[in-house]
Structure 1
Amino acid sequence: MLASVLLKTLRDQGRLLVAWAVSLALVVAMYAAVWPSVKSQPSISAFIEQMPEAFSSLFATSSADLSTPTGYIQVELLSFMGPIAVLIYAVSSGAGAIGGEEDRHTMDLLLANPVGRGRVVVDKFLAMVAGTFLLAAVMGLSLLLEGNLVDLVLPADKVAAAMLHLALLGVVFGALALALSAATGRTGLSRGVPAVLAVLAYIVNALAPMVDVFDRIQKVSPFFQYIAHDPLRNGTAWDSVLVSAVTIAVLVALAVAGFRRRDVAG
């Protein structure tokens, strides 16, 4: 009946993914539409430079310059709105992967089929990865296509690098949500804990240059792996990709182990 949990999950999420993709394309279109007025106002960049460092670092990299396409996208999209969108989708998908089935009382039906618990977790994880990377790809393509219409020109390889890091950021927290969902079956907890940790990780990475305690732990923040190497300017940081991949693998292994040892509510 359910030959592939992965295909079933993707099918169930089809309309949601389309809605997310259209929404992200419209968000990028909004930023593209604003770009012509921003690039003609150099005072905006000067305004950011005059802000207290503790405040400006929360939404801009040190090299961001709003008068350039790269700096504008760094500040307006990749430092805040882009990560929020991807994290909301990935965490919600990961939290609902197991806990959502139990909330809908469909887990017994799923496990009644010839699929092991490990496969259920892995297929649910792969569905979350596919959705997250799809949304990142839509965002990247929208930047290239819509940006060219308003002279918001960005190198395609750098955009691809930034989207890779963005997708991995989402998958890290989505895998954490999946691990909690598999171990507890509680969707609220599985959404709330990753959300809180994502906010803390963001603050640690942003304020690390000014706070000694944060500086010592900055490199364990997923946001450091995402943005600290400035992929939109410098391309893919493969060491950060490796760290993210290892983190994800550990979390998925914990999800499989947690689901296998737990009594499941139908």
Structure 2
Amino acid sequence: MIDELDIALFEFNQRRRGILIVSVLLVATVGLTIAVFPSFGEADVDFAELLESYPEEFQTAFVGSVSDLSSLDGYLVVELYQLVWLLIVGSYFAYAAGSLVAGEVDRNSAELVLVRPISRTRFVLGKFLAMLPAVIIVDLLVLAAVVVGAGLIDEELRLSRLLLVHAVGGLYLIDCVAIGLLASTVFKRVRRAQGAAIGVVFGTFLLDSLTTDTDYEFLGNLSLTRYIDPGELLVLGNVDWGGVAVLVAVACAVVVLAAEVFERRDLS
């Protein structure tokens, strides 16, 4: 008899190589980003004035609430967390999760698994659980790389605030996984599921920035990025607990919805 943990373990083992590659690339990105900071900080540029010259939509999407790039924490928010983490890493996890169920259906192997004594709901849950260690590994490795990198250039970062960024950032990535999982249960083809998952993450990222301070700002509430602000977390140490609650609720609701969709789906 198999259960969701067996499925999670098997799925995670299948993805170890990809997780390792992504982790190495992200650690290298962190190292390169931090290595540039000393020369960046010595540049004779008024970065506050430069930021104000950008369109408001650009500031919201790629700068966030940061107004000072001369400190390492503000620099990391703009160069690493606001763009790389929220958009690129989030899109990767949504893309990866897009193949969780659709991949089985596409290969006609889902029916072979489901003839065993396991419900479709537990099957979907097992697939979701397989991605949680991947999120944790990437999250911790990037955290360690930032701490080590800051030490190598003799810059100080408040560890408590850095932990906040990665804790809430990890929740955000789990939401991205849930979005990919839902797409994977809706579409039968992997490419369609992955494309839809990336489209949702990228589209809502833009929706948040393009609707800020407009008559349509309420639409930005549909975006996950509305509930996480790396600048507030890392620079100011402020936690939006309401936003954290939304991220947790969204993850749970989307996983339940994905299981319900797959329960009602015809695999023939």
User: Which TM-score applies when normalising by structure 1?
Assistant: 0.90
Q: Matches of residues 113-132 of structure 1 in structure 2 within 5 Å?
A: 113-132=116-135
Q: Match for residue 24 of structure 2?
A: 22
Q: Residues 138 and 235 (structure 1 numbering): CA distance in 2 closer, same or farther, change over 3 Å? A: farther
Q: Matches of residues 36-47 of structure 1 in structure 2 within 5 Å?
A: 36-43=38-45, 45=47, 46-47=49-50
Residues 212-232 of structure 1 show CA distances to partners (whole Å, capped at 9, x for unaligned) of 21x223333210112277221
Where 2:200 maps in the other structure, the secondary structure is: helix
- Is 1:135 the counterpart of 2:101? The answer is no
Q: Residues 228 and 78 (structure 1 numbering): CA distance in 2 closer, same or farther, change over 3 Å? A: closer
Shift of 1:9: 0.8
Shift of 1:80: 0.7
Letter in 2 for 1:26: A
Q: Residues 141 and 182 (structure 1 numbering): CA distance in 2 closer, same or farther, change over 3 Å? A: same
Structure 1: how far apart are the matches of 2:10 and 2:183? Answer: 22
Q: Residues 151 and 12 (structure 1 numbering): CA distance in 2 closer, same or farther, change over 3 Å? A: same
C-alpha contact 1:122 1:256 (8 A) present in aligned 2? yes
C-alpha contact 2:31 2:145 (8 A) present in aligned 1? yes
Structure 2: how far apart are the matches of 1:64 and 1:217? Answer: 25
Q: Matches of residues 1-266 of structure 1 in structure 2 within 5 Å?
A: 4-43=6-45, 45=47, 46-213=49-216, 215-227=217-229, 230-233=232-235, 234-265=237-268
C-alpha contact 2:66 2:77 (8 A) present in aligned 1? no
Shift of 1:131: 1.2
Which has the larger displacement, 79-88 or 201-210?
Answer: 201-210
Number of residue-to-residue matches in the alignment: 264
Q: Residues 82 and 152 (structure 1 numbering): CA distance in 2 closer, same or farther, change over 3 Å? A: farther
Shift of 1:144: 0.9
Shift of 1:122: 0.5
Q: Where in structure 1 are there 5+ consecutive unaligned residues?
A: none
Residues 113-162 of structure 1 show CA distances to partners (whole Å, capped at 9, x for unaligned) of 33221111001111122212321221111111122111342211211111
User: Which TM-score applies when normalising by structure 2?
Assistant: 0.89
Quick one: percent identity of the two aligned structures?
Answer: 24
Where 1:113 maps in the other structure, the secondary structure is: coil
